[in-house]
Structure 1
Amino acid sequence: MSSMEKVESGGDIQDKPSSSMESGTIEATITTANTSANTTPNTSANTTANTNEEDASQLDASAPVDHSSVNTRESTKPTPDSSDSRWLGKGQPIEDVRPLAEMSVGRNSHEYNMTHKRRGLGLIIAYDHFGIYGPPPKRPCARHDAKITKEAFKSLGFEIEEYWNLDKRNFLLVLEQASKQDHSDRDALAVVFMSHGGLDKGTNKEFIWTYDTKVDTSELWKNFTPNKCPSLAGKPKLFFIQACRGEETDKGVQLKRPRGLLVSTDSYVPRDKEEDYVIPQYADMLFMWASYPGMYAFKSSNHGINGSVFLHFLSKVFQEYGPYSDLASMLLRVTREVAIQYESFVPHDRILDQNKQIPYTVSTLMRKIFFFSRKPTAV
């Protein structure tokens, strides 16, 4: 059971001061005028004063300075950006030449274009047992988890491809082949991964288990950036990971009676068409893990769950609210239901008993996702 940590690199963006050609010209003119003044005979204090006044008047007449013009030119000239990491020798580009991809949605659209001919590929990669080098525990709940997940994503319109117990080589191959498909007529991509996972304390990196060994969690999405999969550029790429992220537990906090909360909704803004624009390589992605970094992800056979707690509520919410709610609202509900409705029941283990769990989401999505038509609803 696993996932990945959110890594942010780089530092604060700072502006560099820029010099002005006009200021250089002014300084040169003043230097010439002072030289001329110094060559005037200094016969008396009055003569010196008059000479300086004449030189000053000549300077004003011969080198007029239009300060408003200087300020205008400086305000329109962009100042180079900087990053602390650049001074450390970092910041190599992913590609020397910026790749091109077709625009699937206008730059200022509030929603992703979910009206292509096909909804998109839905990859389910699941494990219920492992090889001799894998972690010992089997995952008997995996078949049930895969079944409800498949039904949920099919209800959203995804075309499901299901893979079981892949070794590392075939795991990487499936992801690479999926990235090489033509997704031009598809709305999105969804990947659901179910296995064991954890945190490498030596490197502080999260990993997930394949059949024969563990791999970095980032292998799940590294093939789907626009430079490697241009037909998904500007389209949502969704990754859901059922796997532990460490061995920590969360006993929760007892809250007093809650006060009422105000609920508000965003209004719909029509999509508009704009000129070409550029997006970052890791834009339009969403990663949702079953648990917070470093924490267990639980399974249960109580209260109708019969498998992974996270996938139970994810599938339930998608099927119930998918026809008319946006993705962000549904995932908030999933997070809320897992966090509030579930508490572990392991009476023979004091450490694992009565623990809470909360899903963890990292998103670079820039727009809302509606899989179908919208109706006013509270999610």
Structure 2
Amino acid sequence: MITVMRDHGKMDFSQYDCFICCIMSHGALGKVFSSDNVGIDICELIKPMETQRCPSLAGKPKLFFIHACQGDRTQGKTTRSDFTHDVKALPSMPSFTHEADVFLGLSTVPGFVAPRNNDGSPYIRFLTEALDKMSPVHDLLKIMTTVCKQMNDIKDGGLGYVSCNLSTLRKRLYFLCDSD
């Protein structure tokens, strides 16, 4: 995965408006697993696309959508009566990026598993449906808010999930179709 990202980081993106990467794998906090089961830091996958390494992406959005567990705890809807124990702080993501114009969409929040069922990843399904239905009228953050709501509405034994978005985008991002 790192080799693929480094190779892409050497490419010329002058003719493109943005870079989009989608990864579906297993994971752990701040990591995704490669096919040989090596945990790769998500930040290491983002680095080759940073402006210093890939100047043709300067000022352009670099979007990463990742379906991978970020821990081993299971999310779930709770009610007030469920709070009978002390709430512990969640571990945070390792340093995300110091680069502007990067968006990282994760299928779950740090510390938790990413839901998957016989139909695959609900996060990826909701993401593709929302992009299809809401573009070009709504910007990426509105689309991702919709995805997060849909994740939370999942009825799987009463559980509700929350996806996670980290962003250093400096402008609203709309997906426009080129009619050529």
Name the TM-score class by shorter chain.
0.7 to 0.9
Question: SS at 1:336's partner residue?
Answer: helix
| Aligned equivalents of 2:123, 2:72: Cα separation in 1 | 17
Q: TM-score, normalised by structure 2?
A: 0.83
Query: Which deviations, in whole Å up to 9, do the C-alpha atoms of 1:304-357 show, x marking residues without a partner?
Result: xx11011110011011111322111111111111112x0334xxxxxxxx4321
Q: Confirm whether residue 366 of structure 1 aligns to residue 170 of structure 2.
A: yes
Q: Confirm whether residue 300 of structure 1 aligns to residue 130 of structure 2.
A: no
Once the two structures are superposed, the pairs formed by residues 235-250 of structure 1 within 5 Å of their partners are: 235-250=60-75
| Aligned equivalents of 2:64, 2:42: Cα separation in 1 | 11
Alignment-derived partner of residue 87 in structure 2: none
Question: SS at 2:112's partner residue?
Answer: coil
| Aligned equivalents of 1:183, 1:281: Cα separation in 2 | 21
| Aligned equivalents of 1:284, 1:324: Cα separation in 2 | 20
Q: CA deviation at 1:217?
A: 1.7
Q: Confirm whether residue 288 of structure 1 aligns to residue 118 of structure 2.
A: no
Q: Confirm whether residue 177 of structure 1 aligns to residue 1 of structure 2.
A: no
Once the two structures are superposed, the pairs formed by residues 86-235 of structure 1 within 5 Å of their partners are: 171-199=1-29, 206-212=30-36, 213-235=38-60
1:288 maps to a residue whose letter is: G
Q: TM-score, normalised by structure 1?
A: 0.40
Query: Which deviations, in whole Å up to 9, do the C-alpha atoms of 1:29-57 show, x marking residues without a partner?
Result: xxxxxxxxxxxxxxxxxxxxxxxxxxxxx
Q: CA deviation at 1:248?
A: 1.1
8 A Cα contact 2:69 2:113, kept in partner: yes
Alignment-derived partner of residue 156 in structure 2: 344
Q: Confirm whether residue 315 of structure 1 aligns to residue 128 of structure 2.
A: yes
1:222 maps to a residue whose letter is: K
Question: SS at 1:334's partner residue?
Answer: helix
| Aligned equivalents of 2:98, 2:122: Cα separation in 1 | 32
8 A Cα contact 2:65 2:104, kept in partner: yes
1:208 maps to a residue whose letter is: V
| Aligned equivalents of 1:220, 1:343: Cα separation in 2 | 33
Alignment-derived partner of residue 88 in structure 2: none
1:331 maps to a residue whose letter is: M
2:9 maps to a residue whose letter is: S
Alignment-derived partner of residue 160 in structure 1: none
| Aligned equivalents of 1:211, 1:282: Cα separation in 2 | 28
8 A Cα contact 1:343 1:357, kept in partner: no
Count of aligned residue pairs for this structure pair: 160
When residues 249 and 281 of structure 1 are mapped into structure 2, their CA distance, relative to the original with a 3 A threshold, is: closer
Q: CA deviation at 1:281?
A: 5.4
Question: SS at 1:221's partner residue?
Answer: helix
Q: What fraction of aligned residue pairs are identical, expressed as a percent? A: 31
8 A Cα contact 2:103 2:165, kept in partner: yes
1:174 maps to a residue whose letter is: V
Structure whose alpha-carbon radius of gyration is higher: 1
1:317 maps to a residue whose letter is: A
8 A Cα contact 2:28 2:39, kept in partner: no
Gaps of 5+ in 2: 81-96
Q: CA deviation at 1:254?
A: 4.3
| Aligned equivalents of 2:98, 2:145: Cα separation in 1 | 26
Gaps of 5+ in 1: 1-170, 200-205, 256-279, 346-353, 374-379
